[in-house]
Amino acid sequence: MEGRKGVGVGSIAPRGPGARPATRVGADSDELPDLTDEQREELRTLLEERRAQILASIETRQEQERDTGREVGDEMDEANIEGATAMASRLLERDVQLLSEIDRALAKFRDGSYGQCEGTGEPIGFGRLKSRPWARFSVSYQEQLERDARTRGGF
């Protein structure tokens, strides 16, 4: 723990983008190796496939919004159309946000920082990345962020 004043076992300290510790800090301090080339390629493929799916979904949702074909109807019809439009709009926003996260992860492949926690600089486990390849934080750091948000009333 040399060179990191005030950081003890179990704490999570933000690091600069280039920091790469040899082991994780915290209760689960088992060493997490960097991703293998095969794992990186598998994750890149997952991201690219998911990106293509999201782009298709966004295009479909945008077409549906344009093709509402509104005709004059009763109030119930109008309410149903408004509800469906609001739901489609929320789903479109969600897809756009996820697309942004995926693009960010793909950019991290290009700059060589993919698989590193943005909060600690430590490796993110392959299992987490396999289930959520656009993950920006390790599980322990994400949990810490959520605990901090709850104590501040953010959740």
Domain ranges in the chain are 36-114, 115-155
Q: What is the pLDDT of residue 120?
A: 94
On the question of pLDDT at 141 being above 60, the answer is: yes
Give the fold, CATH level 3, of 36-114. Answer: Four Helix Bundle (Hemerythrin (Met), subunit A) (1.20.120)
Secondary structure element (H or E) that encloses residue 61, with its range: helix 37-66
Q: What is the pLDDT of residue 70?
A: 56
Burial (Cβ within 10 Å: 0-12, 13-18, ≥19) of residue 108: middle
Does residue 5 or residue 34 have the better pLDDT?
A: 34
pTM comes to: 0.68
Q: What percent of the chain has pLDDT over 70?
A: 72
In whole numbers, what is the pLDDT of the chain averaged over residues?
78
**Tens digits of residue pLDDT in 41-62:** 999 999 999 999 999 998 887 8
